[in-house]
Amino acid sequence: MIRRNTNRRIKVRQADACALPFEGGTFDRALALLVLHFVPEAGKAVAEMCRVVRSGGVVAAAVWDHLGGMPGMRMMVDTVAALGESGRQLRSRYCFQPMMQRVN
């Protein structure tokens, strides 16, 4: 993606989602699309998104509908967990984050 960009106005940077290297209020919007599942401290990442977006800007996130089932993904994660400790650690990080729990 970086090599394909020919627009000088667009800059692509890789960074830690929980420690964004930008000053507060730098952006009009921050989006996390299908990524928060994989961030160990998703709440910290969202707080960083809020920090770097200007007042009145937009912070938005989208995640897969785990509460709706996703049985194929869950079977894969459960299978990996059955194979060993690293798989169990993955499952505990991936499947039990707050965004995957029912809110009452």
Domains of the chain by residue range: 17-63, 66-104
Q: What is the pLDDT of residues 80-104, one digit of tens each?
A: 999 999 999 988 877 776 666 666 6
Provide the whole-model pTM.
0.67
- Structural Rg of the chain based on CA atoms: 17
Local confidence band at 39 (pLDDT 50, 70, 90 cut-offs) = confident
Of the ranges 9-13, 34-38, 44-48, which is most confident? 44-48
Q: What is the per-residue burial (b if ≥16 Cβ within 10 Å, else e) of 19-57?
A: ebeeeeeebeebebeeebbebeebeebbebbeebbeeee
Would you list the DSSP string of the chain? -TTT---TT-------TTS-SS-TT-EEEEEEES-GGG-TTHHHHHHHHHHHEEEEEEEEEE---GGG--HHHHHHHHHHHHH-HHHHHHHHHHHTSGGGS---
Query: CA 65 to CA 9: how far, in whole Å?
Result: 34
